[in-house]
A and B are shown apart, each in its own frame.
Chain A
Amino acid sequence: MTFNFAVVLKFQEALFLGLWMTLKLTLICIVLGCALGFLVALARTSKNAILRAASSVYVEFFRGTPVLVQLFWIFFCLPLILGVELSNMTSGVIALTLYMGAISSETFRASLKSVGREQLDACVALGLSHWARTTNVVLPQAVLRAAPTLLSNCVSLFKESALVSAVGMADLMFVGQNISNNTARPIEVLTIVALIYFVIAFPLTRAVTVIERRILKRLAL
């Protein structure tokens, strides 16, 4: 068996476009998903029983079903229910944002809980208003504590985003599959695709460790 990696070079541009789609989708869904996750975490600890119930159902549902099924459902069922056409990009963003929201809400919930009652007492003793307490004490501590897990969530999202190729979005995985079908060189092409994913994800997983060691240790959070 002979390998011909030069084949892959010919499709450089297509692969870059695919990667660009993957990164764009991931970044958009990280931003939207984290915001959603934070709000859902607040809702899950809210005094309002309806908010609590609705947010729990959402989180448990998305954590308890395969991402691929969620994706198919949003691509094929949601437009039928809403009666509108959704572009591939819109559907992809909705699906992965909901996924990211669900997993990051759990991360935020744990970190919010970890800001102890003593910290809140100290805030009251210093006369800080509820708003000042939330924005200057609770939120920064929660975000710092959540940072390593949140970054892991981002890496998961980046990798799970490959599933959108199954519904025809031209991401890195989709482009790679196409090239490998057309050239009949699956080993070369899919290996390169795997390497591209790895080269991006690996530094991020390392960063998780660094954050944990350096920052959290310095702050003893």
Chain B
Amino acid sequence: MSDTAPLVKIEGLHKSYGGVVKVLQGLDIEMKAGDRVVVIGPSGGGKSTLLRVLMGLEQIDGGSIVFGGKPYISANGNGKTAIDAKVRRSIGMVFQHYTLFPHLDVIGNLILAPMKVRGEKKAEAEARAMALLTRFGLAQKAKSYPAQLSGGQKQRVAIARALMLDPKLMLFDEVTSALDPELVAEVEQVILQLAKQQMPMVIVTHDMWFAKNIASRVIFCAGGVVVEDGPPEQVLGSPREERTREFIERVFHIKH
């Protein structure tokens, strides 16, 4: 796939919870294969909802998403959402609260999906898992249970677990905001490492340093629509929209 063909094309996305709480109200986003999109916006603005929809975890009310040229998610009128499970498998997500499987050790967490979803052999999956853990500096934790890990380690394991399925797009929803400050860097470094390898990603973060360093593009979402969309220097540095400026000053304590 060329660098300019859209990897993700979101059109007219509408999403509400129970028809009452209208969260996304006609969202249009086009993402290229080389993009690393950072989504910022006020609390309750629908950032997590957007990522959950992209992951195929939510029903939608209207609109469609095309992934890698294939129809992925669409609302088919009668209140049902069509989600292509095969396309969904090429997307990985890391959540704010780790969501590791507590009854499995680290390696067990990593190999479950490859074995069950792709029918990979145990030895083969374990070898790949160990290679990934080594790369993330977690090799000696392979036999530990999630409860025995620090928050930073848990989150790195969660990232490794998602990577085991060779995703073509990674979604990160505030993956460092539940961590103690001193553990944030180790997780961000892992994501930066992925960025260097050209992994396409959508990231929700409140960390200005991280946003600036990882983003190829920043999207400011508020009120369920895209308010501003552009390169990080522009959106974070000299926002065009008043709402973006106000938000960035308030959250990141930056005066323009």
A128 touches B112 (CB 8 A): yes
Check if A129 is an interface residue, CB within 8 A of chain B.
Answer: yes
Question: Would you give 25 A-B contacts (Cβ < 8 Å), ordered by A?
Answer: A119-B99, A121-B52, A121-B95, A122-B95, A122-B99, A122-B100, A124-B88, A125-B95, A125-B162, A126-B117, A126-B161, A126-B162, A127-B85, A127-B88, A129-B116, A129-B117, A137-B103, A137-B112, A141-B103, A144-B103, A218-B147, A218-B148, A219-B146, A221-B102, A221-B103
- Roughly how many angstroms separate A132 CA and B102 CA in the complex, as a whole number? 16
Check if A140 is an interface residue, CB within 8 A of chain B.
Answer: yes
Check if B145 is an interface residue, CB within 8 A of chain A.
Answer: yes
Secondary structure dominating the interface of A: helix
- Roughly how many angstroms separate A208 CA and B27 CA in the complex, as a whole number? 53
B99 touches A121 (CB 8 A): yes
Q: Which of B95, B113, B117, B161 is the most central at the interface, judged by chain A CB atoms within 10 Å of its CB?
A: B113
A119 nearest in chain B by CB position: B99
A125 touches B116 (CB 8 A): no
Chain B residues packing against A (C-beta within 8 Å): 52, 55-57, 85, 88-89, 91-93, 95, 97, 99-103, 112-113, 116-117, 145-148, 161-162, 165
B95 touches A128 (CB 8 A): no
Q: How large is the interface on A (under 10, 10 to 19, 20 to 34, 35 or more residues)?
A: 20 to 34
Check if A88 is an interface residue, CB within 8 A of chain B.
Answer: no
B112 touches A125 (CB 8 A): no
A124 touches B55 (CB 8 A): yes
**Chain B positions within 8 Å of A218 at CB level:** 145, 147-148
Chain A residues packing against B (C-beta within 8 Å): 118-119, 121-122, 124-129, 132, 136-137, 140-141, 144, 217-221
A126 touches B145 (CB 8 A): no
Extra contacts, 17 of them, besides A125-B91, A127-B88, A137-B103 (Cβ < 8 A), are A121-B52, A121-B57, A121-B99, A122-B101, A124-B56, A125-B55, A126-B117, A126-B161, A137-B101, A137-B112, A141-B101, A141-B102, A144-B103, A218-B148, A219-B103, A219-B147, A220-B145
